[in-house]
Amino acid sequence: MSEMPLVTSARSAEHETDKQTKQEERGLITPRTNTPAVQSKDHWTHSAYKASAPFVPLLTQEIIQWLDPQTTDTILDLGCGDGSLTAKVAERSARVAGFDASANLIEAGRSTYGSVSNLSWHVLDCRYLEGSEEIKEGEYDKVFSNAALHWILRDASSRMSVLRGVYRTLRPGGEFVFEMGGAGNCADVHAALLAALVHQGISIEKARETSPWCFPSELLMKNMLEEAGFRVQRSKLEYRPTELTSEKEGGLEGWVKLMGAQFLEVLDTEDKTEAVVREVCDVLQTILTHEEDGSMYLGYVRLKVIARK
């Protein structure tokens, strides 16, 4: 593996700034001055995440094997959430920086793992990663992401910019290792949400537009990564039905309210919101339930990738 100095000299930093300014002028990257650090609304709370989706950072054995953290590694965790997985990665690495758009979740991470000295926390809407002053060219050995890229890549207009930002902040030879929702992810609940919105008078076009997700196929992801300059080393798409919690605030209802918050926001009354949540839960009741014990499974599809700079 080739090595890049972690601290750039003053002259090369000046050169990089010049290069960046020229790229900004040519519209190749998002200008740094236009970078909103925080999303307009924080849909995430730590308690809702713990009640509805505690399995997300736990079902990660394979992707952590793919990441294979080394004690010399500097790693950026893109969409780190409350940082429970980030902290595990930090136990085996030199330094880990957690970036997430949710100030609530970053605060939860900071308060739980604030004393871990090789871990840092950053609130950033990663759709604007490329133009962010928080990341430097060639700063990291690896960029890691679990269950966050399908949110971060939601807007077709900023997708390539995010991937270029990841590419820029990796050192030559560095790896982008991620797991995200892939084509067909949670199609059950996705379809039920769209239909329930239409039943409340929202047009199908508007309902589709509110979707906060991008679930790419392996081919689409490969094409986008290659366009950003990466070489895909390994990739896998798999159907992984995932058991929902039986927590009071969790289960399918908690999941829909947390993960589907942006769909629900398009409705203008509490009654309509409740009606959509109810319809989704009613429609999916028998589809998702395992009769033998009443447990419920959502149709998660995971896309795992290792891409090299």
Ligand X SMILES: C[S@@+](CC[C@H](N)C(=O)[O-])C[C@H]1O[C@@H](n2cnc3c(N)ncnc32)[C@H](O)[C@@H]1O
Binding ligand X by CB under 6 A: which of 48, 87, 147, 307?
A: 147
Nearer to ligand X, 44 or 140 (CB): 44
Our CB check for ligand X shows the closer of 132 and 273 to be 132
Residue 177 interacting with ligand X (CB under 6 A): no
| Distance of closest approach, residue 275 Cβ to ligand X, in angstroms | 26
Binding mask 71-90 for ligand X (x = CB under 6 A): --------xxx---x-----
Q: Which is nearer to ligand X, 244 or 272 (CB)?
A: 244
* Burial classification of residue 73, based on how many CB atoms lie within 10 Å of its CB (0-12 exposed, 13-18 middle, 19 or more buried): buried
The residue of the chain with the least Cβ separation from ligand X equals 81
Interacting residue with ligand X among 101, 197, 207, 252 (CB under 6 A): 101
219-258 footprint of ligand X as x/- string (CB under 6 A) = ----------------------------------------
159 belongs to the binding site for ligand X (CB under 6 A): no
Q: What is the DSSP string of 111-180?
A: HHHTT-TTEEEEE--GGGGGG-TT--TT-EEEEEEES-HHHHT--HHHHHHHHHHHHHHEEEEEEEEEEE
Question: 42 exposed, middle or buried (CB, 10 Å; 0-12, 13-18, 19+)?
Answer: middle
Nearest to 137 by CA among 168, 113, 98: 168
Window of 6-14, 144-152, 234-242, 301-309 that interacts with ligand X by CB under 6 A: 144-152
125 counts as binding ligand X under rule CB under 6 A: yes
Give the nearer residue to ligand X in terms of CB position, either 108 or 272: 108
List the structure tokens of 241: 């039905």
Using the contact rule CB under 6 A, the part of the chain among 15-23, 94-102, 198-206, 215-223 near ligand X is: 94-102
Identify which of residues 62 and 282 has a Cβ nearer to ligand X in the complex.
62
| Spatial distance between the Cα atoms of 136 and 152, rounded to a whole number of angstroms | 19
Question: Which residue is it, tokens 């750039």?
Answer: 8
The smaller minimum CB distance to ligand X, of residues 76 and 196, is found at 76
Give yes or no for residue 152 binding ligand X (CB under 6 A). yes
* Spatial CA neighbour of 299 closest among 194, 206, 191, 186: 186
Nearest CA among 193, 217, 158 for reference residue 265? 193
* Cα of 220 vs its chain's centroid, Å: 17
The one segment of 11-19, 140-148, 194-202, 227-235 that binds ligand X by CB under 6 A:
140-148
> Does position 102 bind ligand X by CB under 6 A?
yes
Q: Is 105 exposed, middle or buried (0-12, 13-18, 19+ CB in 10 A)?
A: buried
List contacts with ligand X (CB under 6 A).
Answer: 44, 56-57, 79-81, 85, 100-102, 105, 125-127, 146-148, 151-152
